[in-house]
Structure formats: C-alpha cells, structure tokens
A and B are shown apart, each in its own frame.
Chain A
C-alpha cells in the first residue's frame, strides 16, 4: 500500500482502492471471529479464549497452506484447529460447568505459549512466507472504480478471495438461522432460559457444545485468513489482541450478526485509514485512529447509556435440576 500511495498520490484511484482493500483485509478475520463469538454468546457461553483459538487457527492454517500448497487446505486446517481448542471449552465449561472466564484466559495463555514454541522449533531459521491468494473478480462489478479492484494487488470490494464472499454469505445465513429457524430458537433459549430449553426436551449441553465448536471453528478460520491472506506469514504476535476486539464486537452487536460484520469492517477501515493517513502525511496519529472506534462506542454508551443486551444466562453453567 505504501508504495502505491507514494507513486500515485493520496487521492488517486489506486490509493483509494488500496484503502478499501486494506479495510477488508483487516476486517475479515475480525468478522469471522466475531460471528463465532456471537453465536457462542447467544447460547450462553462467553468465550474469552477466542484469542487463543485464532492463534491456533493461524498457525495450523499457515502450516497446512505452506506444506499443502493450497489456501483451502489452510482454511480447513485453521477451522479444525480452532474447533479442536474449543473442545477444551466444551469439556470444561459446558460439560463440567467450570468458570468460563478462567478457562478462556487459560486457553489464550496456553495457545500463545504453544504456537510460539512449535513455530520457533519448526521455522526458527527459515521464516517462510506464502504467495498471494487467488482472487475472484466478479464480472462487471470488478471494473468499477475504487470498489472494483480488478488487477490491483489486494483487490477491492468486488475482487476478493472466494472465502470472503463465502464469509458474507455465512453471516447472512447465521442471522437467518438465529432469527427464523428452530435451531436458532434453541440456541437463543440456551442463552436466555436454559431450564426452559431442557424442559422442552432439547439438550442444553448439545446446543451449547455445537455453538462453542462453531465459535472455535470461526475463530480458527479468522486466524487462518489473517495468516494466509492478510499477512502471508506466521509470527507469534500475529493475532495481537484481535480476539479480544472480536469479543467486544460480538457483544456490541447485541447478538445481531450483520452488526458484527459492520463493526468488523468499520474496525478494519480505521486500521486502513491509519496507514493511509500516515503515507498521505496527514498529521494524525495511527494510535489515535486505532482507538477511535472504541472511543466512539464508549461515548455513545455514556451519552445514551442503555443496557447492552446480553443473554440472561451468559457465562453461567447449566446444571440440570438446580434452580
């Protein structure tokens, strides 16, 4: 992005395209993770281990894409790794009813240590990188200025890797599932009134377990996207707090998936604008741009303070027969 800007000027078409592309690259991993977290929270499980699951996904995705030579292998491995880590959460928090916050922090710390350890022992000297991912240019639309992105190195709205479009479709599907289907009703009941769900003959454990596994897989996919598409490499700081940002986005979305997508993209945009402003020599601190989204949300909360909607049984384990 820097070179493009330097060569063509700040308000050139290429520069603005790069701005949009940067926003998507930074926003998509957050979107996946937030989408998973949202479903998990809706089912009553607060998944603080998201950061660790993203890291595991990033590592597994990177290794699979590197050795297997295909980004799809990487995405699949990332999802598997994330879901695998979330099995711990299923066992500890859903099955045994242990504290979700303690378990989540434990998962994050363990994954941070584990990925750094394995990566160092495997790639300490080579530090490999991946090539660019294939992009799908949507016929017609990709010729538009700025949002088209045909032929640009990072594409734009209508020139993205297939996985980005699939992710958007998934967000719509999740929204529909939560609102309109029986399965969605079960998930919501598991978070709002697990006793009632149990009385209706649906297993709270199973519902919550699937929700947590979904969150793990999505976080893993987000991490894999980060390593394979956004960065093209793995390092132990690659996730860098994005898991926690996704948790906040999921909570702020008030359990509406499409808001999580908007939030993630907005956040990605602010990161992208920070880069853009720096090269444009606009005197604005990157740190300031980065904290702007949260600052805005807090100001809104303070001014129009209303109760954030959270499921009634969030972070509470379900124990059959107890009142």
Chain B
C-alpha cells in the first residue's frame, strides 16, 4: 500500500515554483510588467528630469527619433546594431552558463586594435574578401583568447571571474593602446592611430540599404552576421545538447557536477564562445564603420548592453528589438542632446534608469510570481547549493 502511494507521488509533477506564478500573472501581463514597463518608466522619469532642467521632453524624444531614423541616420542606427547585438549574444552565452563575463570592453578593444593594425598590412597581399574574412576570424580569436586566463582560473581554482575579467579588461585596454601607439602606429601621422583602411575595402553593404541623401554606401553586412549569430546562439542554447549542458551549469554548478558533466570544460567553452562573439563585434565596428583605430577610442559598449540582455531575459532573439532601440537611442540621443544643449551622457542616464526600474518591477513580479528574471536561477536553489 505504502509503495503504491510512493509511486503515485513520484509520478506527480514536481512543484513548479517558477512557472506557477506565470500562470497567475498571465504571460502577456508578465511580459509587459518585466520587459516593457521598465522602459516606459525610465522614459517617463527621463521626461521629468528633462522638464526639471528646462528642456522640452517631447521635443527631446522627437529629436531622438529624427536623429536616429530620419535622413540617412537609420543607416547609422542599423550599423550600430551589429556590434551591440554581437556583444549581447556573447553575454547571453556566458550569463546563461552562470558566468559573469564583465571583461567585454577589454576583449572588444583588443580585438579591434589587432585587426585595425593587421588589416592595412594584409590589404596589399590578400584579396579583399579573404582579408575581411580572415580579419573577422582573427578578431573573434583575439576576443576568445582574452577570456582564456579567467576561464582557466575559474575552471581550475574556482577563482571568481568577476575579478579576473575586470583585471583582464584593464590589461586589454592598455595593451590595445600600446599596440596602436607602437607596432600598429600609422607612420604618416603623429596622431596615435592605426593606418586607415581604403574606404572601398570595408565590409560590403547590404543591397537595398543605400540612401539618396548621403554618399555612405549603405548598411554593411555585419548586421546580417550579428542577426545570424543571434539565431545561432538561440539554436545552440535551446536546441542542442551543449546548450542544455551550459544551462545546467548556469542553474547549478553542483548539479552539473553530480550529473557527471565536465564542468571545467564547459566553463572554458562558455568563456571562449562569449569572447569570440565580443571579438566579432569589434570586427563589425572596425571593418564596417571606422576602418582605423585611435588610441583614445573606447566606446565602452559593454555596460550599455547588460540591461538589454536582462530585459530580454537572456533570450538571444528576444534581445534584437531592444538592441535596435538602444542603437536608435544612442545615435539619436547624440543629436537630441546637441539640439537641447545637453551632454550626450543623458542617454546613459536613461539606460541606467531602465535597469533600475527593471530591478524594481522584477521585485514586484517576484512577489507576485516567485520567479527570477535569470532563467533557471532560483535564489533558493542557488543558496542551497552554496550551503551544501
């Protein structure tokens, strides 16, 4: 008798701590609460701040739109999507595997320095297409290589990757400057910068994206690469065995070990993939837009992207609309700020506010539902694991 009860109990589904709340809230309202509301609140607060310092908020947001979309600005916005999306994708791989890769700026800048330095040297010896492909791969490889030390230290000694990736960022940024000022310096100028690519040797543009109001050829193919990468990562994380193993690692390292997964290897794979995409992001920016690198150039895209990745709940395809929005805001924001006599840093304030409101709505949603915005991470499980 007791045995049958036990068997029945076993067949019952385990209590659904995370998804149970979603049923209460409903998927639509959950999506609204967690992914749209923070944006609305941040824009609203931004409007109040603008009004408080005497700037017409409606005009400001109109300017953001026209500065990011109208005339040929939509080309800039779309081209900005490429690096941001690739960084986002790189972060998603790492964060899903429970790895805090916060060294993206170093990975990005170093990859950019290496290819902008090598690019103009390869140019003379290689056909353009092969040159661009080779450089993109080199950029990815450099980005990945810059994660090896944190990866090994975490895999072997469980050394906290936040410290090591931050340190690698400082080293990477300085190394990039050394490279640009030293071996890759353009000999024809005293400005610390690399030799610029031939304008026609940059990434080809997507047919149909030319604009009549500007001579810029069009949106480069890096955008397609970035979108493809988002789909590849989505497929990898949700449809393959490697993706599942990475997610198990992210949910609980102890469970992963108990399942017999090769945890050190998974950590290294997640790090390398993450760094590869960040390096590729640098390739799209250098090979598609800039064509050279100045020593003092550091767009610091990394921190901008973090909020988006969370708003999209670490979903590689879901992050695309947010990246488009941020690109538009960053291109249009510069124009709007200039028009209103503000600092372009105002956009940063909006991004930060979005993240704060996201945390706030997350708290509300969690009280209502009990789930976290980090897929697979329940705080209870996390703590039980540390305690055990």
Chain A residues at the B interface, C-beta cutoff of 8 Å: 46, 48, 88, 92, 96-99, 101-103, 105-114, 116-117, 120-121, 124, 195, 236, 241, 244-245, 247-248, 251-252, 285, 287-288, 290-291, 294-295, 297-298, 301-302, 305-308, 310, 312-313, 316-317, 319, 322-323
Inter-chain pairs besides A114-B349, A319-B380, 19 sampled, C-beta below 8 Å: A46-B162, A92-B360, A103-B359, A109-B303, A109-B307, A109-B351, A110-B355, A113-B348, A113-B351, A116-B346, A117-B49, A248-B167, A287-B174, A287-B175, A298-B167, A298-B171, A301-B159, A310-B160, A322-B379
- A316 touching B386 by the CB < 8 A rule? yes
At the interface, yes or no: B37 with Cβ under 8 Å from chain A?
no
Tell whether A290 pairs with B174 under 8 Å between CB atoms, given A109-B352, A109-B355. yes
Tell whether A121 pairs with B157 under 8 Å between CB atoms, given A98-B359, A107-B352, A241-B170. no
At the interface, yes or no: B153 with Cβ under 8 Å from chain A?
yes
How many whole Å from B275's CB to the nearest CB in chain A? Answer: 16
- B345 touching A317 by the CB < 8 A rule? no
Taking CB atoms, residues of chain A closer than 8 Å to B175 are 287, 291
**Which 10 A-B pairs give the minimum distances between C-beta atoms?**
A113-B349, A110-B352, A109-B352, A106-B355, A116-B345, A113-B348, A291-B174, A287-B174, A120-B343, A287-B177
How many whole Å from B325's CB to the nearest CB in chain A? Answer: 16
Taking CB atoms, residues of chain A closer than 8 Å to B307 are 105-106, 109
At the interface, yes or no: B362 with Cβ under 8 Å from chain A?
yes
How many whole Å from A70's CB to the nearest CB in chain B? Answer: 28
Distance A294 CA – B167 CA, assembled complex (angstroms): 6
- B380 touching A113 by the CB < 8 A rule? no
Distance A252 CA – B166 CA, assembled complex (angstroms): 12
Partner of A305, one of B156, B166, B303: B156
At the interface, yes or no: B374 with Cβ under 8 Å from chain A?
yes
Partner of A285, one of B164, B182, B352, B360: B182
Distance A27 CA – B355 CA, assembled complex (angstroms): 31
Partner of B178, one of A88, A98, A285, A322: A285
Chain B minimum-CB-distance residue to A299: B149
Question: How does the 8 Å CB contact mask read for B362-388 relative to A, with 1 for contact and 0 for none?
Answer: 110000000000100001101110110
- B306 touching A105 by the CB < 8 A rule? yes
- B159 touching A287 by the CB < 8 A rule? no
Partner of B359, one of A102, A297, A323: A102
- B163 touching A307 by the CB < 8 A rule? no
At the interface, yes or no: B356 with Cβ under 8 Å from chain A?
yes
- A96 touching B363 by the CB < 8 A rule? yes
- B352 touching A112 by the CB < 8 A rule? yes
Taking CB atoms, residues of chain A closer than 8 Å to B351 are 109, 113
Distance A247 CA – B163 CA, assembled complex (angstroms): 8
How many whole Å from B247's CB to the nearest CB in chain A? Answer: 18
Distance A96 CA – B374 CA, assembled complex (angstroms): 16
Main secondary structure of the interface of B (DSSP, over half): helix
Main secondary structure of the interface of A (DSSP, over half): helix
How many whole Å from B377's CB to the nearest CB in chain A? Answer: 9
Q: List 5 A-B contacts (CB under 8 A).
A: A107-B356, A111-B352, A120-B343, A245-B170, A287-B181
- A287 touching B386 by the CB < 8 A rule? no
Chain A minimum-CB-distance residue to B359: A98
- B349 touching A110 by the CB < 8 A rule? yes
Taking CB atoms, residues of chain A closer than 8 Å to B384 are 323
Taking CB atoms, residues of chain B closer than 8 Å to A92 are 356, 359-360, 363
Chain B minimum-CB-distance residue to A306: B157
Partner of A301, one of B164, B343, B355, B360: B164
Q: Which of B93-107 contact A (CB under 8 A)?
A: 100, 102
At the interface, yes or no: B115 with Cβ under 8 Å from chain A?
no
At the interface, yes or no: B353 with Cβ under 8 Å from chain A?
yes
Question: How does the 8 Å CB contact mask read for B152-190 relative to A, with 1 for contact and 0 for none?
Answer: 110011111011101111110011011001100000000
Taking CB atoms, residues of chain B closer than 8 Å to A114 are 349
Tell whether A312 pairs with B158 under 8 Å between CB atoms, given A116-B343, A247-B166, A252-B163. no
Partner of B342, one of A101, A106, A121: A121
Taking CB atoms, residues of chain A closer than 8 Å to B345 are 112-113, 116-117, 236
Question: How does the 8 Å CB contact mask read for B238-257 relative to A, with 1 for contact and 0 for none?
Answer: 00000000000000000000
Distance A212 CA – B157 CA, assembled complex (angstroms): 28
At the interface, yes or no: B7 with Cβ under 8 Å from chain A?
no
Taking CB atoms, residues of chain B closer than 8 Å to A124 are 341
Taking CB atoms, residues of chain A closer than 8 Å to B166 are 244, 247-248
Distance A307 CA – B342 CA, assembled complex (angstroms): 47
- B149 touching A298 by the CB < 8 A rule? yes
Partner of B53, one of A117, A247, A307: A117
At the interface, yes or no: B347 with Cβ under 8 Å from chain A?
yes
At the interface, yes or no: B310 with Cβ under 8 Å from chain A?
yes
